[in-house]
A and B are shown apart, each in its own frame.
Chain A
Amino acid sequence: MAIVKSITIVGGGSAGWLTAAIIAAAHKHRVETGSLKITLCESPNIPNIGVGEGTWPTMPNTLQQIGISESEFIQRCDVSFKQGSKFVGWGQDDGQGFYYNPFDLPHGFAEGLSVEYWHHNKLTDSLANVFSAQQSICELNKAPKLITHPEYAHALTYGYHLNAGAFVELLKEHSLNKLGVKHILANVEHVELATNGEISQLQLDNGATLSADLFIDCTGFKRLLIAQALQVDFSPLKSCLFADTALATQVDYASTNDPIKSYTQSTAQTAGWVWDIGLPSRRGVGHVFSSDFQTDDAAEQALVKYIQNTGGQPANCNIRKISFTAGHMKKFWHNNCVAVGLSAGFLEPLEASALVLIELSAAKIAEVLPATTEVMHIAENRFNQTFKYHWQTAVDFLKLHYLMSARTDEFWRENRNSETVSPHLQALLNLWKHSVPKMLDFPAKNELFHAASYQFVLYGHNYKSELLFELPEHEKAYVQQIIQHNKQRIAQLTSALPSNRELINNIKKYGLSRA
């Protein structure tokens, strides 16, 4: 019997440190009593890509579990509150119109009831306005909480926009000082494999060797362990998701009092879309596009135009090009190695899935961590099963945004070619011709995207589900009550909530309380 008592994480970006912190916090007792040793080995000279400046509403809970103070996080990582995504111009060529996918899960959405009512009554106001307060609050650039709310408590569900570099520094400091993670600064020169195909040890450029019962590959696109050493194959997804290039930059605000958007804005372009993420000190803006349909020059021009149209100074922007292949590893966990972060795979950041997949992966590793190496393969199977499903559903959900569009550029037309759509998504769309997405359509525990998300995207795009049956009177009355209650909630929150900027400034000045 060989007890699993050491984990080595290779790579010190967002994936490495977030994974280290999550596992160390989940197994705090074992780390403190010395029965589990967690070591993070990172190169002293490889810069972080800093992917992911937008989180999901899972992040507040993750940070709380790790034991980081929200006030400190906000003060140190240039954080603002994010309450969802706003998709602008995705429907038509004229670029007009928008819809929200808010973080709040409205009443009556799991059963599909609210949406059915909305359909039957041909309500003209958006779903996100009729059933959620968040569209109104976001349009007013207001915050999701009050200064009197304790850390991590809220009036409306939120995630964050953050500076990825500063976030890594905070996670690193916290992991080393509070969670007992060990740190080695060295480059891995060689990965030694045992005859059974497991990683036996790493040879470092400082002459030392590093062994562990479980290795976690957080080496980014290099995939040093999972692909280079263990030869696990990569599944490209370019035939479904066409984007392969990002032009990323940072845009200054015109004044330090400019509103901070409390949502990530995604604006459709000829062959892709532009992200716009508001941090307190600057905006992060970038153009994701497909090089098969647009040249770098044309894409850069589109980005420059977007920056100009939104009050920025493109002349001051340093534009960085990132090429990528959408896709993921065929196996994420192989023998005694598991890949987390970019090394596991990459999807365009349309739904900010990078950080949440790291959170989920690390939490899952902590959960299935086997007691002995003999049963490692069970953990491997469970992990792979879960994450194969997560990645598939994430791909389908991204594809849905493109499928629903009526834009006519070649990129968009080709996106609607049925050969580029997975059978799973095709089946769901067939199902929703005469019904609405319901909780039962998404059976997994910890689904990435819930029925509500599908509803917001489908019906944000005016997708017509032709419903065949009327709702009974008592259900109609129930939904009418929900709508009435939401109106009151919007009015109350509109008058009570401060602006995103004001709240951030006050938190920097006074902090949030624990109680």
Chain B
Amino acid sequence: MTDKNVQLLDKTVHRTLTIDTTMVDFPENHMNMAMVVVNELSTIVHEYPVFIAKNPQTGQFMLGALLGLKSGQNLFIQDGKWQATYLPLEVLRRPFQAMFDPEKPQEGGRIAIDLNHPQVVKDGQKVFDDKGEATEYLKRIQQTFAALMAGTQQTTEILTQADKMGLIEGININVDLPDGEKAALNGLFAFNQEAISKLSGDDLELAHKSGILQVCHLVLSSGLHLEKLVKWAS
């Protein structure tokens, strides 16, 4: 694996940069969970099992689409293709990443690119046109980052509120694979259905208005996709 070479995206320096937008089978995607934000949730739950997890840096709750049954396993990548019609924003943004300009951190996150990323190729999708303007592709990437940033904050707020109200609980998922193997998924959380069903009065209104109930129902409906993963794993 080569070292990273991350640079803030610049229309002059990176005028000729092109990206292979169809490639998905590379090390960064070999993960068993992808972060999901609430504004993409209604689409994501049609294809992925979604759980609550904790951000290891902040301890705050986040939503994650489960991609595999053990660390580093992404069952959605098969034969170099992603087996879903909709990809999480967190995956779609690649090979770009958000970065703070060390000289102007107050301006917030800016888009950066790892020039050694396998998706950076010679004859792929252009990022800038001949005049140095953003192509439609880059505009979509910019929208992806905007959606991720707004969505991440909203997701954190909803889940933090749910936790404060005692609506989140730790869960253990043990999967029996058909070949006799067992997979245990740790560090996952779910909405506590009993606590949710007991909500009443002001708490119920708060849970409804803050979006907790809607997120809860979407997450709950996604559970059945776990079976798909078990099938793929065997």
Contacts and interface: CB of A to CB of B under 8 A. Distances in A.
Interface stretch (A122-130, A263-271, A505-513): A505-513
B58 A513 contact: no
A29 B162 CA distance: 26
Interface in A206-235: none
B60 A513 contact: yes
A247 interface: no
A510 B54 CA distance: 12
A515 B163 contact: yes
Contacts of A506: 58-59
Interface size class of B (residues with CB under 8 A): 10 to 19
A148 B59 contact: yes
A147 interface: yes
Interface residues of A, number: 12
A23 interface: no
Contact of A514 (B55, B56, B60, B164): B164
Given A146-B59, A148-B59, A513 B54 contact: yes
Contact of A147 (B58, B61, B169): B58
Interface in A475-515: 506, 509-515
B156 to A, nearest CB: 9
B184 to A, nearest CB: 18
Interface string B123-166: 00000000000000000000000000000000000001001101
B165 to A, nearest CB: 9
Nearest to B165: A514
Nearest to A146: B59
A379 to B, nearest CB: 35
Contact of A515 (B56, B57, B58, B168): B168
A147 B58 CA distance: 6
A126 to B, nearest CB: 32
Contacts of A513: 54, 59-61, 160, 163, 168
Contacts of B187: 148
Nearest to B189: A515
A510 B60 contact: yes
A512 B61 CA distance: 10
B81 to A, nearest CB: 34
B72 interface: no
Nearest to A514: B163
B215 to A, nearest CB: 15
Given A148-B54, A515-B163, A510 B189 contact: no
Given A147-B57, A513-B54, 16 more contacts: A147-B56, A147-B58, A148-B54, A148-B55, A506-B58, A506-B59, A510-B59, A510-B60, A512-B59, A513-B59, A513-B60, A513-B61, A513-B163, A514-B164, A515-B170, A515-B189
18 contacts: A146-B59, A147-B56, A148-B54, A148-B55, A148-B59, A149-B59, A510-B58, A510-B60, A512-B59, A513-B59, A513-B160, A513-B163, A514-B164, A514-B166, A514-B168, A515-B163, A515-B168, A515-B189
